Structure 1
Amino acid sequence: MQQKHEFDVAPLPSHTTWWLWIPMLVAIGAAVAAISMDSHTPPPVAAWLVVPFVLLVGIVLTLALRRRQIALDNRTLLVRATFYSKTLPVEAIDVDKARVLSLEEHTDLAPMLKTNGFSLPGFKAGHFRLRNLGKAFCLVTDRTRVLTLPLRDGGMVLLSPARPADLLARLRELAAPTPHR
């Protein structure tokens, strides 16, 4: 019986968090400016709740951005990406067609339309339609080294492990038929 083995996820680009926080800070600044405008009546108390609410949303999204995991538990691939998770038995993956490639070169496999996911420049997590209109579950933090895992049901999983070849080798090892004794 095997134990759970985790694979490091490729780090996020340094600018990704800024794409989350700059709009939050602009919203806070706009709210404070609107509240403090010269007026004959004081702003309602609810107006002051905008600032802590936006801060809370930013904190929750920042914490979600940190939830990234790729693991193999026995013969099951576990992927956790922000608010989303995917659990697949190795048998559901067409390992013979799995590849490590660059989405910069293979643009037909790039996530294009978010159907239920979390997306920032340099980061895609959750369910997406690809440029080729296929469906994919994504945890992409590095577009230059993506492990593409075609599923036997027609879907796909796109992952950015720090060492994609190691994960692919382990999946191929698990998918290989075992000799009977």
Structure 2
Amino acid sequence: MKIVIINYGAGNIQSIKFAIERLGYSAILSDDPNEIKEADRVIFPGVGEASSAMKKLRETRLQDLIPNLSQPVLGICLGMQLMCNRSEEGNTSGLGIFDVDVVRFSKNVKVPQIGWNQIQGLKSELFRGVTEKEHIYLVHSYYAPICNETIATSEYGVDYSAALQKDNFYGVQFHPEKSSEVGAKILQNFLDLK
């Protein structure tokens, strides 16, 4: 299986690569459109700021490629947020895959949310074998509100989308590569998708 992690200058890429290797697979880091198109699975990571990340995607011309991929694609953290319509972070447009706008947590909670939280309302093959209220690891100041494409929720002052899905596109707000056995299970489920 050819697994490509999109390398567009976003942080956190090596830890995702290592998590894939722990599952017994190898992954390629690439920003080459042909290599990404030929992959069996594509992981779209992200740690950083939304508007500068979108700028990098435009510079590498990946903003047109990613929404047109036909294989399973997994956006992680900022990667998931960039797959949405817009983000309040840097007031930037996204890739428009998920029909929801990313907004900042209210001033009533400490931001960023850092640490372990629970996921629930699990509704996808991505969560096969994962029980409700398992703990996952998050670091974020912005979130996608609950919408038609929500497949898991979490709560931090407000209920929000912990995961989204539309067709072959999946997004998780949390970091599966840092979420212990639950995260490894979710990554394995992604790799096992038909």
Q: What is the TM-score of this pair, normalised by structure 2?
A: 0.25
Q: What is the TM-score of this pair, normalised by structure 1?
A: 0.26
Could you say which structure has the higher helix fraction?
Answer: 1
